[in-house]
C-alpha cells in the first residue's frame, strides 16, 4: 500500500522563486523514504505541503489515503511531524510540552498521564521533565521534539532534517530511535536530509531532489550501482580550468570530469590502473599534482551525476529558499 503519494507538485513563492517544479514520488507503507538534496532544493516545501502547512499551486498529494488539500483536518490526525525548527515551547517544561500536545490530540485524564510518562521515560527525559525546555541540551530538545511528534501514535511520521545541528553522538542516538520506529512500530517515515550518510543508513528508498524536482530515485544500493567504476580525485598545486580539461579529454576511460578550483574529479573504470597515466598526462600538460585519491562510488557521486554538480558545491552555492 502507498502511504504517501505526491504527484506533480508545484509551488512558487512570492517573488517568483520556484520551490517545486513538478515533484512526484510515492512511499510504501512501513518504510523509511529519504528525500536528499541541498538547502533550497525543495525538500522542506514538500514536507510543508504533505503536512498541510502549505498549499501547492498545482499537483496532488495524498497521505494515509487522504487528500492533503481537501482533507487537512483528517490528515493532521494521522501524521506526526518533527520540523526543521524546534516545535517545542522553550518556556514550558518537558512534561508541560507533552501534556499540552496530548490534550490537543484528545488525550485526557489518566490516558494523558500514562502516555506522557511513557514518552519521557523512552526519550530519556524523565529526570529533566520538570525543567524548562530552554535549559535542555540540543540533543535533549531534539528528543523532546520527536516525542511531541509521537504523542498520538501516528501511522506516518515526517522528519524534516531531524539531525541538523546535533553533535555526532546525539545524531547516532536519534538514528537508532528512527530505525526502531520504522521497525518495531511499523511507521511510515518520510525523512529529509542533506547528510548523505544519514540517507544511506536510514532510508530503504531515496530520491534525490534538485531545483524542485526528483532527479533520481531508488534504493541506496541501486543508485550507487548505477555508477560503474571508481571516482578519482586529484588535487593540483595550482588552480586550473581549461588546461586540465583539455589534457584529460583525450584520455581513454575517463568520464564525468569535474573541476572545482584545484580539485579535479573524474570517473574511471579501474582507479588503481588509471592513476599513473592520469598523473603523467597532467604533468605533461604542465599541471603539478599534489595528491590523488581513489574512492568507491558514494551517494555524493550519485548526486553529482544526476544534479550535474557535486553535493558540497550545490550546498554552498544554493541559497536557502524560504527555509
Partner 1 sequence: MTALRHTWQVALRYIRALLRQPAWVGISLTQPVIWLLLFGALFKRTADIPGFSGGSYIEFLTPGVVVMLAMSSAWVGMGFIEDINRGTMDRLLVSPIWRGALNLGSVAQSVLSLVIQSLIVIGLSLAVGAHFHNGIAGVAVLIGVAGLLGAVFASLSNGIAVLARQRETLIGIVTMATLPLTFLSTALMQQSLLPGWIRWAARFNPVNWAAEAGRSAAGPDADWGLIATRAGFLALLLLASAAFATRAFNAYQRSA
Within 10 angstroms of residue 220's Cβ, the number of other Cβ atoms is: 21
* Distance, CA of 156 to CA of 221 (rounded, Å): 25
- Specify the residue, 144 or 202, whose C-beta has the smaller distance to partner 1: 144
End-to-end CA, the chain: 31
Here's the x/- map for partner 1, 46-75, by CB under 8 A: it reads as --x--xxxxx-----------------x--
In the complex, minimum distance from the CB of residue 88 to partner 1, in angstroms, rounded to a whole number: 7
- Specify the residue, 53 or 263, whose C-beta has the smaller distance to partner 1: 53
Residues 6+ apart with CB under 8 A from 272: 294
Residue located via cell numbers 529529509: 192
* Distance, CA of 159 to CA of 51 (rounded, Å): 11
Among 101, 163, 192, 193, binds partner 1 (CB under 8 A): 101
Within 10 angstroms of residue 290's Cβ, the number of other Cβ atoms is: 10
Which of positions 7-36 make contact with partner 1 (CB under 8 A)? 13-14
Among 43, 86, 112, 115, binds partner 1 (CB under 8 A): 86
1-9, 82-90, 235-243, 271-279 -> range binding partner 1 (CB under 8 A): 82-90
Asked if 91 interacts with partner 1 (CB under 8 A), we say yes
101-109, 248-256, 277-285, 310-318 -> range binding partner 1 (CB under 8 A): 101-109
Asked if 87 interacts with partner 1 (CB under 8 A), we say yes
Q: Which helix (H) or strand (E) holds 210?
A: strand 205-210
State how beta strands 263-268 and 230-236 pair.
antiparallel
Within 10 angstroms of residue 284's Cβ, the number of other Cβ atoms is: 9
22-30, 102-110, 210-218, 305-313 -> range binding partner 1 (CB under 8 A): 102-110
Here's the x/- map for partner 1, 273-292, by CB under 8 A: it reads as --------------------
* Distance, CA of 298 to CA of 233 (rounded, Å): 13
Among 83, 212, 229, 271, binds partner 1 (CB under 8 A): 83
DSSP assignment letter at 164: T
Which of positions 142-171 make contact with partner 1 (CB under 8 A)? 148
* Distance, CA of 180 to CA of 203 (rounded, Å): 13
* Distance, CA of 219 to CA of 212 (rounded, Å): 20
Asked if 222 interacts with partner 1 (CB under 8 A), we say no
In the complex, minimum distance from the CB of residue 55 to partner 1, in angstroms, rounded to a whole number: 6
State how beta strands 213-218 and 230-236 pair.
unpaired
Interface positions with partner 1 (CB under 8 A): 13-14, 48, 51-55, 73, 76-77, 79, 81, 83-92, 96, 100-101, 103-106, 108, 132, 148
Amino acid at each position: 500500500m502507498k502511504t504517501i503519494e505526491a504527484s506533480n507538485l508545484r509551488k512558487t513563492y512570492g517573488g517568483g522563486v520556484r520551490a517545486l517544479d513538478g515533484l512526484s514520488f510515492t512511499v510504501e507503507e512501513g518504510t523509511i523514504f529519504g528525500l536528499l538534496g541541498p538547502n533550497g532544493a525543495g525538500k522542506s516545501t514538500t514536507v510543508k505541503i504533505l503536512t498541510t502547512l502549505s498549499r501547492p499551486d498545482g499537483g496532488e498529494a495524498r497521505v494515509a489515503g487522504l487528500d492533503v488539500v481537501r482533507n487537512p483536518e483528517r490528515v493532521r490526525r494521522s501524521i506526526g511531524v518533527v520540523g526543521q525548527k524546534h516545535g517545542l515551547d522553550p518556556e514550558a517544561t518537558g512534561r508541560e510540552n507533552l501534556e499540552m500536545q496530548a490534550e490537543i490530540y484528545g488525550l485526557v485524564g489518566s490516558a494523558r498521564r500514562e502516555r506522557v510518562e511513557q514518552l519521557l521515560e523512552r526519550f530519556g527525559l524523565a529526570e529533566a521533565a520538570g525543567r524548562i525546555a530552554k535549559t535542555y541540551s540540543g540533543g535533549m530538545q531534539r528528543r523532546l521534539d520527536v516525542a511531541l511528534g509521537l504523542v498520538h501514535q501516528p501511522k506516518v511520521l515526517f522528519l524534516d532534517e531531524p539531525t541538523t545541528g546535533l553533535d555526532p553522538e546525539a545524531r547516532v542516538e536519534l538514528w537508532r530511535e528512527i530505525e526502531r520506529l520504522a521497525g518495531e512500530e511499523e511507521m511510515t517515515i518520510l525523512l529529509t536530509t542533506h547528510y548523505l550518510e544519514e540517507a544511506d543508513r536510514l532510508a530503504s528508498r531515496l530520491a534525490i531532489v534538485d531545483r524542485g524536482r526528483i532527479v533520481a530515485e531508488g534504493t541506496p544500493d541501486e543508485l550507487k550501482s548505477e555508477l560503474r567504476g571508481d571516482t578519482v580525485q586529484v588535487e593540483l598545486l595550482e588552480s586550473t580550468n581549461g588546461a586540465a580539461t583539455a589534457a584529460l579529454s583525450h584520455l581513454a576511460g575517463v568520464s564525468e570530469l569535474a573541476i572545482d578550483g584545484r580539485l579535479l574529479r573524474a570517473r574511471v573504470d579501474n582507479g588503481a590502473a588509471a592513476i599513473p597515466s592520469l598523473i603523467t598526462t597532467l604533468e605533461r600538460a604542465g599541471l603539478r599534482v599534489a595528491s590523488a585519491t581513489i574512492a568507491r562510488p558514494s551517494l555524493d557521486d550519485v548526486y553529482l551525476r544526476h544534479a550535474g554538480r557535486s553535493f558540497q558545491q550545490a550546498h554552498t552555492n544554493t541559497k536557502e529558499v524560504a527555509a
